[in-house]
Structure 1
Amino acid sequence: MKEEQFIKTNSNTWRELESLSTVINKKGIKSLPSNEVKKFLSIFRQCSHHLAYARTHYPKSNTENYLNSLISSCHSHVYAVRKVSPGEFFKYVGYEFPRLLKEQKWFVLSSFGVFAFGLLLSLILVAANPDNANMFLPEAMVEGVKSGTAGGGGGQWNYPLMSSYIMFNNISVSLRAFVFGITLGLGTIYVLFFNGALLGALTALMYMYGNPKHYWSLILPHGVIELTAIFISGAAGLTIAKSMFLPGELTRKHSLINASKKAVSLVLGVILMLVIAGVIEGFFTPLNISEEIKLIFAAITAVLLSLYFAVPYLIKRKHN
């Protein structure tokens, strides 16, 4: 097609995109009704194809320069990153996150159930035969606990080694429990079960060869929040799996999209929880204070976390 014919055929479309872009520049994209937004996106895609065609057939021409300028001016409207105001952030933290947990409570409880089953099973297996710990824990860690060099009988806890291992494991577990929801939930269930088994095996070894009080004083101050974050991540993964198995009245595609939005909202809260847990582990857990104080601190975090999650129930009761 000759350039003149190309311009004549498509110039009305380009002018329409220009007009919509001008309105958006002046009043913002929210000023457009939904059908106009869809129209803008459709025309933008058409003009992007026109630009690609012009670059191929009319390189360095005025037509290419014009289309390049037009698409560039519209690009920021299409791919703009939505800014989150401080008010929205505090609303999410203060109410939306616990409200979403209330809405997804059965998924959270299911996630906890899978984790607890793995923990109890490994606890029983290792208590029956300590050699079974090798099924769940690295051999070096098992030998370290037995010999007392990683929190064993002498109560000597290799804090950098053990704490770093546990924190890194919990963070990676949280992320994998969420992402593996796309495997119809099988990956999520495996991650929750195996990591419950890991904690159960380590706990059994500590009661057999180590100092349980010392162990819990180093695990629980940050572990209460970290473990809760794992259960919530597992719930996010199970939410995605459920949308694929049981889409309801929606198509599987739209069911998955809706579930993914909820799951991502849950994971945002999980990230905040892991940050708080990391701060506790970095600044509080290593302090040279009594084990009793650390355990009391862990109990306080559990109470505060319970009160925080109860916010939607308390607000609902107040309005009633």
Structure 2
Amino acid sequence: MDIDVFAAAHAREWERLDELVRRRRSLDGEEIDELVDLYQRVSTHLSVVRSSGQDPALVGRLSAKVARARSAVTGAHASAWKDAAGFFTRVFPAILYRLRWWWIGTTAGAVALAGATAWWVAANPDVLHAIGTPETVSQYVEFEFANYYVENPRASFSAQVWTNNAWVAAQAIIFGVFLGLPTLWVMGLNAVNVGLAAGMMTAYGKADVFFGMILPHGLLELTAVFVAGGIGLKLGWTVIAPGDRTRLRALGEEGRAAVAAALGLAVVLFVSGLIEGLVTGNMVAGHIPVPVALGIGVLAEALFLLYVFTVGRKAAQEGETGDIENAPEAVPVA
């Protein structure tokens, strides 16, 4: 390769890169894209020149250009922090507030189903016996229920809980597109499972143990799952009754909001997973008093609801719908 010919062929691109880097604080969206593109291309040019081994001085000059451009591009991506802040102060809470009646209704239905299941199990010995032998149920009540929270290391347990709950929430939302029917199944199955556990514990006089271990993390965790279920049902209803929008447009708008909600709920469930692993686990192990653990759970739930009904309400009243397609695409360069 003739290094002089190569340098002459790309000199204009290198000059243009320098110009954009100098003006990085005043670039418009199109120029930002050009800066990123030129940075990538000149980085390739640097690799070519360096591999040729013909002109160390040119390698030095191009290295300096690429380093300055990298700094400018990195500055452009620093606004991702602003995007994240906007997501959690406007987009995510606005979605939760706008769809509040869907997930409040889902919560009421799930709690009613769980309560009915618990009563059915606790009040009917035949049902309890159908679940398992007296020895099996006794083993669950006396040992396995509590041991679940302490049998694994705290960090890995929190990660496992978070992964499982995030998957359940994602299923509840994604399945909503199928007219909401699979979402109803996921929500119903989750409620019945909670009710079965509550019923077995209550039948053996351990209702206080059940609620003492469930509530610290379960308030926030189950609320997040119910929110996911409500959003999934709204998505299903949108397919059935899109309103004054075309079905495709309505599904697109609600679908994008649902995806955004799933991302936000993953963070909420991460917090509840930490509470389950660190607070509930340490409470079961005897390191944290039950009232303290319950207080942490109630505080987390209260802060979440306050977040939805203050921050979310304000954002929704200002016109935020949660449709991420409406988010600004221009990224200022620092």
TM-score normalised by L of structure 2: 0.60
**Paired position in structure 2 for 1:172:** 163
- C-alpha contact 1:247 1:255 (8 A) present in aligned 2: no
* Post-superposition offset of 1:227: 1.4
Residues in 2 aligned to 1:144 and 1:150: alpha-carbon distance in whole angstroms:
9
1:198 and 2:193 are equivalent in the alignment: yes
**Paired position in structure 2 for 1:7:** 7
1:151 and 2:141 are equivalent in the alignment: yes
- Indicate which of 37, 41, 48 corresponds to 2:36: 41
Q: Which runs of 5+ in 2 are unaligned?
A: 241-246, 319-334
Classify 1:266/1:318 alpha carbon distance in 2 versus 1 (closer, same or farther; 3 Å).
closer
* Post-superposition offset of 1:5: 1.9
- Indicate which of 206, 216, 221 corresponds to 2:211: 216
1:207 and 2:194 are equivalent in the alignment: no
**Paired position in structure 2 for 1:229:** 224
Higher relative contact order (CA 8 A, sep 6+): 2
- C-alpha contact 1:51 1:64 (8 A) present in aligned 2: yes
Q: Please list the CA deviations of residues 204-252 of structure 1 after superposition, one character each: whole Å capped at 9, or x if unmatched.
A: 32233442233222222332122113334566788999999976289x7
Q: Please list the CA deviations of residues 158-188 of structure 1 after superposition, one character each: whole Å capped at 9, or x if unmatched.
A: 6343466897764233321355579666899
Classify 1:257/1:310 alpha carbon distance in 2 versus 1 (closer, same or farther; 3 Å).
closer
* Post-superposition offset of 1:18: 1.5
* Post-superposition offset of 1:11: 0.9
How many residues align? The count is: 298
Letter matched to residue 196 of structure 1: A
SS in 2 for 1:248: helix
Q: After the TM superposition, which residues 1-320 of structure 1 pair with which residues of structure 2 at under 5 Å, given as runs?
A: 2-24=2-24, 27=25, 31-55=26-50, 58-59=52-53, 61-62=55-56, 63-79=58-74, 82=78, 98-105=93-100, 108=103, 112=107, 119=114, 129-130=127-128, 133=131, 146-147=137-138, 149-152=139-142, 159-162=146-149, 170-178=161-169, 189=183, 192=187, 194-232=189-227, 248=249, 260-275=259-274, 280-281=279-280, 306-312=305-311
Q: Which runs of 5+ in 1 are unaligned?
A: 135-141
Classify 1:117/1:9 alpha carbon distance in 2 versus 1 (closer, same or farther; 3 Å).
farther
Residues in 2 aligned to 1:47 and 1:182: alpha-carbon distance in whole angstroms:
43
Letter matched to residue 215 of structure 1: F
Classify 1:182/1:145 alpha carbon distance in 2 versus 1 (closer, same or farther; 3 Å).
same
- C-alpha contact 2:177 2:232 (8 A) present in aligned 1: no
Range that drifts further, 272-281 or 215-224: 272-281
TM-score normalised by L of structure 1: 0.63
* Post-superposition offset of 1:17: 0.7
Letter matched to residue 20 of structure 1: L
Letter matched to residue 310 of structure 2: V
* Post-superposition offset of 1:122: 6.8
